[in-house]
Structure 1
Amino acid sequence: MSANKPDRENVGLAPDDEAWQAIVACDAAYNDRFRYAVRTTGIFCRPSCRSRAPKRDNVSVYPDAARALEAGYRPCKRCRPSDTKLPDDEWVGQMTDYIDRCYDEPITLDRLAELYRGSPYHLHRVFKRIAGMTPVEYVQRIRVARAQERLADTELAMSDIARAVGFGSVPYFITVFKQRVGTTPSEYRRQHRRSIYAEVTE
């Protein structure tokens, strides 16, 4: 089992109505009764965690932090459900894993701060220190890399590729791609096709 991914065979229990209401209400009275984990982010929290409630279908309930840790979840950095501080490199690792998986979804600094329980300013500062780039730069790098794969291996239109890798518009996609690669997507595709043709005919 990967250290950053929940164990799919140890999914805990679905929250009953009482547990769910405690999560929604951030009720600290339940902190000694259970921890809840969110499968889409791979982290777990105290019931009192001050964050927007996740989708109920993505939540699993564990009797304590040890069980959630055994299932492969990481403790929330904000509410510290295991009473220990999550190392910054693991915290950033959670975020990069999420971006690697969900690069085609809307990802903003505020969205990451909401998912990974930290202020946008602190998250931005720690992410840049650990990853060597800002969260936005990391998202762009992953999206451009996925676009390069599609440009090289498919005949998809630019608009389809831009949408598939998470860019909201073709002009923005072209601008970011050229900044990171040094050519436009169309030029990149032509160069790659010429390279393949040369290899085949040699």
Structure 2
Amino acid sequence: MESNNLFSLEEKWEAIVTCDHSFDGKFFYAVKTTGIFCRPSCKSKTPHYKNICFFNHAREAVQQGFRPCKRCRPELLIDSYDPQQEIVEKTKLFLEKNYEEKITLDTIAVIIGVSPYHLSRTFKEHTGTSPHEYLEQLRIQKAKNLLMNTDHNVTEICFQIGYKNLSSFYKHFKKSCGCSPHQFRLNQKKSKPPV
């Protein structure tokens, strides 16, 4: 079994058993019986101690013929990998590309490949908002940009950013900005220096 001089074998084993994130990027371990290598924080079933070997770098494990774990993604050139963060990033990307469409939590969950409950809970834990609240914030940001940089009327903007009716748009805009879309546009024009 190879040893990384920075940590004893006991420290490494303890890190694996406890799935300690603080050791990620400092060493990797491979399971001889499965042919897979992992980060110390991997949530996979704890292997038998006699079946593991340690590596300082992911490339060393690959050179020895081990495959990267699909759960903890040790081959990625980042110190730690959080699969939950990947769910959040994919959700944000989907919302940013499709904000003008009618989007439900179920739709997003199918696209991302997780249950609606898991998606909602994970997104809120990582961002502090629900996917729906994030979508509303995104739409309001797009509306503000259109109000400041185009001559489109409020009704056109409302439908361009994905709202199906004006009252819902006004309600969310006022809640976010403290004024109506029309007032927001007037305030922006007043604050712009003359050319």
Q: Shorter-normalised TM-score: what interval?
A: 0.5 to 0.7
The alignment status of 1:168 with 2:164, answered yes or no, reads yes
The alignment status of 1:184 with 2:171, answered yes or no, reads no
Identity in percent: 30
The alignment status of 1:84 with 2:71, answered yes or no, reads yes
**Which residue pairs with 2:194 in the alignment?**
200
Matched-pair contact (CA < 8 Å) for 2:142–2:161: yes
1:130-175 residue CA offsets vs partner (Å, 9 max, x unmatched) = 1110000100011000000111111211111011111111110010
Q: What is the Cα deviation at residue 83 of structure 1?
A: 4.2
Matched ranges for 1:83-162 at <5 A:
83-84=70-71, 87-162=83-158
Following TM superposition, the consecutive aligned residue runs of length 4 or more in structure 1 with deviations greater than 3 angstroms are none
Taking the aligned partners of 2:175 and 2:104, their CA distance within structure 1 comes to 20
1:51-93 residue CA offsets vs partner (Å, 9 max, x unmatched) = xxxxxxxxxxxxxxxxxxxxxxxxxxxxxxx842671011110
Taking the aligned partners of 1:101 and 1:155, their CA distance within structure 2 comes to 23
Compare CA radii of gyration and give the structure with the larger one: 2
SS at match of 1:118: coil
Q: TM-score, normalised by structure 2?
A: 0.57
Q: TM-score, normalised by structure 1?
A: 0.55
Q: Residue 108 of structure 1 aligns to which amino acid in structure 2? A: T
Q: Residue 126 of structure 2 aligns to which amino acid in structure 1? A: I
**Which residue pairs with 2:47 in the alignment?**
none
Q: Which has the higher contact order (CA 8 A, sep 6+)?
A: 1
- Please say which of residues 100-109 and 133-142 is displaced more in the overlay: 100-109
SS at match of 1:200: coil
